[in-house]
Amino acid sequence: MGLETIFGNSFLTSRVDEAVNWARKYSFFQYPFVTACCGMEFMSVWASTYDIARFGAEFPRFSPRQADVLFVVGTVNEKLAPSLKRVYDQMAEPKWVVSFGVCATSGGFYDNYATVQGIDKIIPVDVYIPGCPPRPQAILDALIKLQEKVSKETVLKYKGLK
Amino acid sequence: MKAIESLKEKFSDKIISHDSFAGQDFITAKKECLKDMAVFLRDELHFDFLSDLTCVDYKGYPGRENAPRFETVYHFYSHKTKERISLKFPIEETSPNIDSLTGLWLAANWYEREVYDMYGIHFTGHPDLRRILMYEEFKGHPLRKDYPLKARQPRIPHED
């Protein structure tokens, strides 16, 4: 990186991936797809005690077209599955999915006729959070894991080049 | 006179059995007399509230090998006399139908749809007997004892 030495402190060189990912990972706009009791823990993460705003991800968008991260919070049943797929399809790239709690991850103890046995049967998932419901710490951990994942991506991926 | 006594007197030939437990009265009767009993309960004995309507599948239940497979169960409450009574009507597997109570209590509408959805009991005279919890494409009735526990059905597409 030789340019800084020529132009002094007024210049900073980086890779495009680094700069874009840095911006993306600290400004997640989430779509909360909340269907069940896990939502209570999710709300507490938003509130002041755990304060998800520290990670730049506090702002929920209730339109999937304006969101980056889909939080599937709670049980998804077969009747709801088409709607979840629809919400995911409406989100613009780049987009990520967090499966929140055991019900979204595997169906949980709802091993029955009505419940989808994990949302990864319908949409791709980036981070799974175990727990029934997960503690707020686990949610923040998942968010950090998602940030790590995002920081390793390349912008070429979304242009179909990689 | 308690409601169960009045019912026993009026429908003596239709009642199969009756029981009282923990202050609750139960009557098992033939399904043909459901409507007559319901009208009598509502108009004469002031049971103005249908608090629950459900069904039991007794398939494989010990001691009921020769009894009818299903039983619909009605729980009534009277706000006037503060009395409760439960009616049960055995239903054969070969003809799973019974009269609808929708005309007498509007509350029966969704209860009967639920019982139809889960057990496949047809309520004759119901104005809109559709599934209420499962989706239309769903095959079978999931709370029947012979519905396979691990059965999964094809996922439905999104409709606008």
Query: Does the residue B133 lie in any domain?
Result: no
Q: Within a domain: residue B40? A: yes
pLDDT above 90 (res B11): no
Query: Does A109 lie at the interface with B, CB-CB under 8 angstroms?
Result: no
Nearest CB to A81; choose among B133, B151, B155: B155
Total number of domains constituting chain B: 1
Interchain CB contact of A122 with B (< 8 Å) = yes
In a domain, B58, yes or no: yes
Residue B54 lies in a domain: yes
Domain assignment present for B144: no
Identify the H or E element spanning A142: helix A136-151
Q: Residue A63 burial by CB count (10 A; 0-12/13-18/19+): exposed, middle or buried? A: exposed
Burial class (CB in 10 A: 0-12, 13-18, 19+), A104: buried
Beta strands in B4-64 (DSSP E): 15-21, 24-29, 49-57
pLDDT tens-place string over residues B37-51: 999 999 999 999 999
Question: Is residue B129, in this structure, part of any structural domain at all?
Answer: no
Say if B28 falls within a structural domain: yes
A102–chain B nearest CA distance, Å: 18
Structural domains in chain A plus CATH codes: 28-159 (3.40.50.12280)
Look at the block and give the residue holding tokens 């020529």. Answer: A6
A39-50 residue pLDDT tens: 999 889 988 899
What are the tens digits of pLDDT across the range A127-151?
999 999 899 999 999 999 999 999 9
Domain that holds residue B20: 3-124
B46 lies in a domain? yes
CATH number of the domain encompassing residue B59: 3.30.460.80
Residue B86: in which H helix or E strand, if any? strand B84-91
**Cα–Cα distance between A146 and B155 in angstroms, integer?**
29
Pairing of strands A29-34, A59-60: parallel
